[in-house]
């Protein structure tokens, strides 16, 4: 069988890889791998928590920029990162990237890894922590990881996963999330990515 047969080696079978949105003039736009964005809003987040957001990469990609947008800020700091995720969508191993401290003033905040971040096919978690109360632009959408709390009910959709942890560099291994936030809307993503390949 050919090594480029559909779904056998998707990373080498270009028509079966997800693409990206890149304008004819060269502008490469943001997205969240494996997430279908269905809404936009803002939300406030409590300081001193690791907020996790699952996403799935269906074929290898390279990311050269991470971004979030602070809509209500202060004089503190935030940091963004990425972990691999296990089958329970808990962080595993060392952070693949940690932005370091970024001022949490009102603006679009970006971080460019020294070398584009290579993500092979698999499960991942975006992670964000900050040391002061702030609000962020959020994109609502599902990463197809379940997201229905065991109690069901009127607000039976998971919109967030977090664990309390004082603001600091992301640890190895990541601190497992132990709390879910629920509502009647899709999951809230705070971090977007710019893909440079494929």
pLDDT tens, residue order, the chain (198 aa): 445 555 555 555 554 455 545 555 666 788 999 998 889 999 999 999 999 999 999 889 999 999 999 999 888 999 999 999 999 999 999 999 999 999 999 999 999 999 999 999 999 999 999 999 899 999 999 876 667 777 787 877 889 999 999 999 999 999 999 999 988 888 999 999 999 876
> CATH assignment of 37-197?
2.60.120
Decide: 174 and 92 in contact? Cβ < 8 Å.
Answer: yes
Quote the strand ranges of the chain, DSSP E. Answer: 30-31, 36-45, 49-57, 61-72, 77-85, 91-98, 102-103, 107-111, 117-119, 122-130, 134-142, 157-164, 179-183, 188-189, 192-197
Domain ranges of the chain: 37-197
Write out 31-80 in H/E/C secondary structure.
ECCCCEEEEEEEEEECCCEEEEEEEEECCCEEEEEEEEEEEECCCCEEEE
Q: Would you tell me how many other CB atoms lie within 10 Å of the CB of residue 12?
A: 14
The confidence score (pLDDT) of residue 185 equals 86
pTM, two decimal places = 0.87
The confidence score (pLDDT) of residue 2 equals 46
């Amino acid at each position: 069988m050919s090594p480029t047969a559909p779904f056998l080696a998707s990373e080498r079978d270009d028509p079966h890889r997800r693409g990206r949105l890149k304008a004819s003039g060269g502008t490469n736009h943001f997205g969240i791998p494996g997430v279908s964005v269905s809404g936009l809003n803002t939300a406030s987040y409590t300081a001193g928590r690791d907020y996790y957001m699952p996403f799935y990469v269906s074929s290898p990609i390279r990311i050269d920029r991470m971004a979030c947008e602070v809509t209500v800020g202060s004089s503190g700091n935030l940091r963004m990162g990425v972990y691999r995720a296990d089958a329970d969508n808990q962080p595993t191993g060392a952070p693949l990237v940690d932005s370091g401290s970024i001022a949490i003033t009102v603006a679009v905040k970006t971080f460019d890894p020294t070398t584009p971040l290579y993500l092979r096919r698999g499960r991942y978690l975006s992670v964000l922590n900050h040391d002061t109360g702030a609000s962020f632009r959020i994109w609502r959408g599902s990463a197809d990881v379940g997201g229905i709390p065991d109690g069901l009910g009127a607000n039976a959709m998971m919109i967030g996963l977090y664990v309390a942890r004082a603001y600091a560099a992301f640890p190895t291994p990541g601190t497992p999330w132990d709390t879910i936030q629920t509502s009647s809307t899709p999951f809230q993503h705070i971090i977007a990515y710019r893909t440079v390949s494929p």
